[in-house]
A and B are shown apart, each in its own frame.
Chain A
Amino acid sequence: MNAVIEVKHLTKDFKDVKAVNDLSFSVESGQVYGFLGQNGAGKSTTIRMLLTLIKPSSGDIEIFGMNLLKHRNEILRQVGAIIERPDLYKYLTALENLRIFAAMSGVKVSEKALMDQLAMVGLAERAHSKVKTYSQGMKQRLGIATALVHDPKLIILDEPTNGLDPQGIADIRNLILHLSKEMNKTLLISSHLLSEMELIADSMIIIDKGKKVVEGKVNELFDPAETVVELKTTDDAATYEKLQQSALKNMVQGKRNDCILLKLHRDEIPAVMKELVQMDIEVLSFYSKHSLEDYFLSLTAHPHVETLKN
């Protein structure tokens, strides 16, 4: 598959702060690519650099095989985006907003096509209502319609489910899957709803403090048989030392809050329990976590788990 986005050694400095630090990743054609990281990890800065809103301090971005800065307009003609919030002209109607952004995208779209676009996001009946009368969910859907109005090949959505109710989230999820599977669009999506990402993303990257922590296909990164265990004992510091000297040392990921993190295969749990008893460790709790969210937290919650082996 061809890489639609190729980011190489991207760095952005804001005075003393390194918002993005030597970041490299690639997004292949037809993929839904998840872009994960905690608040302030550098997701929005990276997305803004992909859309030429922010100039990189160093590094290269290629989209559709072309250098972004040299072929900006040619590339952006084929890109649709929402950044953070779908802010639109509140004093205009949905149809007027859509017409404006279609024209700005350099395409002539018929009124029927605009209405079809609004129908696709479930807003046809409110096409002539001013955006200021819209709910957050309706604004979000209209934002997606403006991102799609010129039929782009690449769609970049920054937190597309922000502020939506469960039904709204499900609608956006279905829309993303439709765009990917039925219309063969490439999507780069950042979200803090990791459970949602788990359902829609083919590949993903997790960044922390502007740096890549891990990148790969979701089914390879997140093996359902693998689990992260939160272990609480009567003396975590001593237990941590003991574990480092034991046969379990390869499982130890680090310490977080009041617990020790162990990464292991689900089949290994009984043996590990037995080993802990034999080591005379007094266990208070042994909590196995295995969602993508837990995996994400295990990677980004503390600086010392950045050394995690994958």
Chain B
Amino acid sequence: MWKLLKIELFKIFKRPRTYIAFGAVAAIVFLFQIGLKFDGKSYLDLILNNVSDSFEVSDDFKSRLLNGYFICFAILNILLIQMPLLVALIAGDSIAGEANMGTLRLSLTKPISRTDYMLVKFAASVIYTLILLLWLAVLALFGSMLIFGTNTLVVFRSEGIEMMNSFDVLWRYVAAFGYAAVALTTVSALAFLLSVFAENSIGPIIATMSIVIVLTILSEFNIPIYDKTVKPYLFTTHMVAWKGFFYVQADADNKTIDGTIQNLPAILRSMGILIAYIIGFVGTAIWIFKRKDILT
């Protein structure tokens, strides 16, 4: 299995198209960082405009706000919505791309079971997803820390603001990136499943994005009847739960308690649901693929 996995990774990273996603992530992060480096104050004014009615915002507070942690949080807010497309580029191509090239039939005449073949293919797309996330972490977190330094992280919510001391932030990002890996793997698993049905990779990629967009819109619907009947069952509802790592418990004096998470069970429940989706998508893909006649 390890030998097969090495072959898959070799094939993925030998393709020029693999690096499109890395280039796209780098471009977005750099553009965001450059923009904030030169005009961060205007960006902050825009954000603080919404909360300035609730409390006084001093200049000192503003200067401490624009730091690497805050910028990384802003980048993640934007990018983790777009990342599924980049992940689907590889996962959607994994089986359909081989069928399109004609290499699927040659590969399946080798002494490898179809289950192993599928597991290796999926593992390779998960590794690609993890490397892409690592790339994002390096650029968005460590890059921003380098450019803007570190300070207290302030997260704005509709219910108020969350403040975390500088020393209490890094582990939250590690957890958030870990969660994002599971969320993106869910999208990867969906694209992988759709890839089994297609003979070129465009179909699964577009289908994956369409499903993610439609379900994300459904997850955001403010219609009470959907809150308990539909939303809890959509994987897109649970993909944004990474933000929970930045919601902190407060004591009786309304002071944040370092090292705490407001609702860890909810995050773990969401993660469990995503993992169930991954198992469901990949299991279905393998079940179908094992029974499929290879006619390409």
Contact = CB atoms under 8 A, between A and B. Distances in A.
Interface of A: 48, 51-55, 72-77, 79, 81-85, 87-92, 96, 100-101, 103-106, 146
A83 B109 contact: yes
A225 to B, nearest CB: 41
A54 B294 contact: yes
Contacts of A101: 106, 110
Contacts of B112: 73, 104
Nearest to A92: B14
Contacts of B103: 87-89
B7 A89 contact: no
A140 to B, nearest CB: 13
- Most-contacted residue by chain B among A79, A82, A87 (CB, 10 A): A87
Contacts of A106: 110-111
Size category of the B interface is 20 to 34
Interface of B: 3-4, 7, 10-11, 14-16, 101-103, 105-113, 291, 293-295
A89 B15 CA distance: 10
A84 B10 CA distance: 26
Contacts of A92: 11, 14
A87 B110 contact: no
A87 B102 contact: yes
Given A53-B109, A88-B103, A103 B11 contact: no
A104 B107 contact: yes
Contact of A77 (B10, B11, B111): B111
Contacts of B294: 48, 53-54
A76 B11 contact: no
Contacts of A75: 111
A53 B293 contact: yes
Given A74-B111, A101-B110, A85 B14 contact: no
Contacts of A87: 101-103, 105-106
A150 B293 CA distance: 25
A82 B102 CA distance: 11
Contacts of B110: 76, 101, 104-106
Contacts of A104: 4, 7, 107, 110, 112
Given A84-B105, A100-B10, A101-B106, 4 more contacts: A48-B105, A51-B109, A54-B294, A83-B105
B109 A146 contact: no
B111 A105 contact: yes
A146 B3 contact: no
B109 A100 contact: no
6 contacts: A55-B293, A83-B105, A89-B101, A92-B14, A100-B11, A101-B110
A89 B102 CA distance: 9
Given A48-B294, A53-B294, A87-B101, A100 B7 contact: yes
Contacts of B11: 89, 92, 100
A87 B108 CA distance: 13
A146 B111 contact: no
A206 B78 CA distance: 63
Contact of A91 (B16, B107, B111, B113): B16
A96 B10 CA distance: 10
Contacts of B10: 96, 100
Contacts of B293: 48, 53-55
Given A100-B7, A101-B106, A103-B3, A72 B111 contact: yes
A73 B107 contact: no
A63 B14 CA distance: 36
A127 to B, nearest CB: 16
Given A55-B293, A87-B102, A90-B101, A81 B109 contact: yes
A94 to B, nearest CB: 14
Given A100-B7, A104-B7, A53 B111 contact: no
A101 B105 CA distance: 12
Contacts of A105: 110-111
Given A87-B102, A90-B101, A53 B108 contact: yes
Nearest to B16: A91
A96 B14 CA distance: 11
B73 to A, nearest CB: 38
A91 B109 CA distance: 21
Contacts of B113: 72-73
A283 B148 CA distance: 99
A31 to B, nearest CB: 20
Nearest to B17: A91
B94 to A, nearest CB: 14
A79 B3 CA distance: 20
A222 to B, nearest CB: 31
Contacts of A90: 101
A91 B15 contact: yes
A107 to B, nearest CB: 10
A48 B293 CA distance: 9
Contacts of B295: 48, 54
Contacts of A55: 291, 293
Contacts of A88: 103, 106
A53 B105 contact: yes
A175 to B, nearest CB: 19
B90 to A, nearest CB: 14
Contacts of A91: 14-16
B112 to A, nearest CB: 6
Given A54-B294, A55-B293, A73 B111 contact: yes
A82 B110 CA distance: 11
